[in-house]
Structure 1
């Protein structure tokens, strides 16, 4: 069974630039519940509470999605610069959690003010005030993709049976959950994955970059990652086989074939709504709404002013935000539940 590309919806077209203000007061997600407690750590430096800092500026900690800390900070540097440049009296610091399960405890313990992953948001929407969903390259969507080496005999999902497969973080939407769901839909027994071992194949869970490294060096027969990470490894010759949904909505087609080693895609998800950006509700500061306004009112020309000197625009994860509701993320919740993850547990 293939994924249904009509399972999502935005209130406005994903090719128009939203300019709404008062972002913190936009529609909030309506699910409840609490995520399982987890020991957490923020890579790079010690945790920082929101509040005053040197020079009178308010310190604001923004949690990036887990991965390679240096790479994540480089990609989001324009966003950090944008907020620091557009909002008076704030000093935004970026932290990279060890994994997705570390994000919510950091917010609940007020060691961070801003986050940007859908899994944490879905687990307890009442904990957050939602700014919106990120837009890059005119699109508010991205893709999960399953990759193999060009000479691999694996050509479809059922061929994964008996093979070794590299995934990203266990709770990664594109790097784990969506791939496990589609393998299950194809008839494979995923066992206890992502929380435990699968039955019909062997799996390993690390992060997006390491998953591709495992594929490249022969430690895995295939890997799952997100389009922005995987498309650069796909040669141009495979583009003619891309589904129309990828050709219409991917922000990363201009990166085709720019990285080695080369891989071949065997499956694409339907368009997944990109990362939400949100602030913890308990953060009582006028800077919260000012930051939301800066993010929502940003556009490509604005964010370009905040590129570091050596910044590669192809890495940019954000140009503006799009208004969203809980309905937008229902396909994510459906797949989490299908693979045994209860976002409200």
Structure 2
């Protein structure tokens, strides 16, 4: 562990801004930079400033615990940009299940992220408090806001459950649904659309949606949510408030993986640092005024691509070939 002095020095040195996209990057990623091996970690698509802030402790952890590395964070514009970046060796580390499942032969899995003691999260469908939408079949004829088209929790799981409820999802997520109107952006914008009255309902992931749910609804949460969600302490902390009408089964949280073609001793050292991290360790790497509720990682549990087979099943059911 770093001393207070060395940690502060490191944080000050690591505060440079990074580019949002992957195009136009100077230098060769994964190369040596000032004597350190430069490593690019791709975050999940979303609001770039928010994503970088949330994952800053993870970046700081790797730069502080692994000697001789300079880990940079980049935020792709969408999920479809991640696999090409890894395949063309523009990046070394990723952390989304969609890309992992699209071609597992390209990746070595470090494990599944753990936050708040849980390695699972949920997809949730939300509506305004005064909405007459109470169940999935009520979505027929409504306007619905989704996250990225390939988002597991923000799109695929919701479309699958609507399909199971008898609704015609048409060509969604690749095209338009039939029995309802859909729009696809990202998790934050989906909730903004709902809050602004631009949609009758929205789908997002629990960490993003639970803060908008009043505490009075907690007693109605399924046991699986009460037992495995790591975000229940954030209930009702953000406005506007919405009510949940559906929860998914527990979804394994984001995997963290490295591209298989990355030939460096730092690859395994980074994996060890991630697997050996714990809450006490990661707290040392919080930036000033960091909100612990934002943290998407405390450690990893050892998993493999087999743990994500239920995701593949749902992708196939809505017409998405993970390898396409």
CA deviation profile, 1:128-182 (whole Å, cap 9, x unmatched): 1110000011100000000000000000000000000000000000000000000
Give the TM-score normalised by the residue count of structure 1: 0.87
CA contact (8 A) 2:278 2:298 kept: yes
Aligned to 1:321: 300
Matching residue within 96, 99, 107 for 2:78 = 99
CA contact (8 A) 1:143 1:246 kept: yes
Q: Distance in 2 between matches of 1:216 and 1:45?
A: 33
Unaligned runs of 5+ in 1: 1-40
Q: Secondary structure at the match of 2:244?
A: strand
CA contact (8 A) 2:78 2:148 kept: yes
Q: What is the root-mean-square deviation of aligned Cα atoms in Å?
A: 1.1
CA contact (8 A) 2:100 2:305 kept: no
Matching residue within 313, 316, 319 for 1:337 = 316
Matching residue within 19, 25, 31 for 1:51 = 31
Q: Distance in 2 between matches of 1:75 and 1:326?
A: 25
CA contact (8 A) 2:109 2:304 kept: no
Matching residue within 165, 175, 187 for 1:186 = 165
| 1:1-345 → structure 2 map (5 Å cutoff) | 42-43=20-21, 46-47=24-25, 49-54=29-34, 56-345=35-324
* 1:46 shift after superposition: 3.9
CA contact (8 A) 1:132 1:277 kept: yes
CA deviation profile, 1:240-259 (whole Å, cap 9, x unmatched): 11000000000000000000
* 1:50 shift after superposition: 0.9
CA contact (8 A) 1:44 1:69 kept: no
Give the TM-score normalised by the residue count of structure 2: 0.92
* 1:49 shift after superposition: 1.4
CA contact (8 A) 1:43 1:69 kept: no
CA deviation profile, 1:195-242 (whole Å, cap 9, x unmatched): 000000000000000000000000000000000000000000111110
Q: Secondary structure at the match of 1:98?
A: coil
* 1:42 shift after superposition: 4.7
Unaligned runs of 5+ in 2: 1-18
Q: Distance in 2 between matches of 1:93 and 1:128?
A: 19
Q: Distance in 2 between matches of 1:146 and 1:318?
A: 24
CA contact (8 A) 1:142 1:250 kept: yes
